[in-house]
Structure 1
Amino acid sequence: MLNRKIMKFVYMLIPQNSKGFTLISLLFGLAILLMVLPCVGIFYQSLPTENHYQEQAVRLAFQFLADQSEQSVEMRVEGNDLLFESEEGSIISISQYEDLLRRQVSGEGHEILLRNVSDFSTELLPFGLKMTVVMGGGEQYEKIIRYP
């Protein structure tokens, strides 16, 4: 007996009136895409985003002042100025100048620590120093630096 292979043919009926994807439909789709694409950028720019720049700047200034207090021999408050005495004997002052919080060494220089400051106040505590910064928008930040 011979093994016969049975062959089956599958025939799929394709309608002949369908032309498929033409160049005109491709150009039409591309034109729609090019009209909508610039609107996406404008829409994305109009979305509100949170900006934490000011909060980060205040935190960085407070961290800088905490580091300065650790490197200092003495810390005192005169008026609204915060004074640090370094090991070399120079006096480092932190004060408000117009809307800036600035640092000066022995009354010279003008290093800006923070901008848009409406009020800067310091208060000596028995265990450290309390600093308060009020920004131009009314936001208030406080930091307590403990004596080392």
Structure 2
Amino acid sequence: MQKIVYRKYVTLNNQEAGFTLIEMLIALSIVLIICSLILHSMIVLQRSKREGNFIHPREWEIFYAQFKREITNSQRQEISNGKLLLYQNSDVITIEKYQDKIRRRVNNQGHEVMLQKITGLEFIKNGRLIVIVVTDQNKRSFKGEVKPYVYE
């Protein structure tokens, strides 16, 4: 009868080399870098999703400055069907809501976006003032008043 002997230790041939400590550290560092990039991109996406539905205060300031310039350069102003018509020399400039944007058109041609991410636009003529009220997609309201130089 033969005895079966089990070896307690496994020996590796020279051809069967395992991972070294340096290789494991490099692999671990690559995995950590990838995980940190994924985490950072998720944070950026979440922030942009949260902040994507409202008008930034700087955007409003730029729009309002353009709006004031348009009104002060016009000779006559009219509000008709939710649109502001500005008469400058022989041109008619229309400022109106279009989808989720405020657009500017000259002689009913072109399409210049002045402000986006809006849900409401209202023009009010209050005596000599022209008041604009804009509501963004987060229901925040922005209001501005302009007094034209030339009056009707």
Q: CA deviation at 1:93?
A: 1.3
Partner of 2:84: 82
> Which runs of 5 or more residues in structure 1 are unaligned?
1-22
Partner of 2:106: 105
Q: For the structure 1 residues 98 and 26, does the alpha-carbon distance in structure 2 shift closer, same or farther, using more than 3 Å as the test?
A: closer
Cα deviations across residues 94-143 of structure 1 (Å, max 9, x unaligned)?
11233332222222333222334322101112352110112233222211
Kindly indicate whether residue 27 of structure 2 is the aligned counterpart of residue 26 of structure 1: no
CA distance in structure 2 between the aligned counterparts of 1:81 and 1:115, rounded to whole angstroms: 16
Calculate the TM-score normalised by the size of structure 2: 0.67
Give aligned-pair identity as a percent.
Answer: 14
Partner of 1:138: 139
CA distance in structure 2 between the aligned counterparts of 1:37 and 1:99, rounded to whole angstroms: 40
Contact 2:63 2:115 (C-alpha < 8 Å) held by counterparts: yes
Which has the bigger relative contact order, CA under 8 A and spacing at least 6? 2
Cα RMSD (Å) = 2.6
Contact 2:124 2:132 (C-alpha < 8 Å) held by counterparts: yes
Runs of 4+ in 1 over 6 A off after TM superposition: none
Alignment of 1:46-125 (within 5 A): 46-47=42-43, 48-49=46-47, 51=51, 54-55=55-56, 56-86=58-88, 88-125=89-126
**Aligned residue pair count:** 125
Cα deviations across residues 17-44 of structure 1 (Å, max 9, x unaligned)?
xxxxxx9333332222122110000111
CA distance in structure 2 between the aligned counterparts of 1:110 and 1:132, rounded to whole angstroms: 21
Give SS of 2:29's match.
Answer: helix
Contact 2:55 2:117 (C-alpha < 8 Å) held by counterparts: no
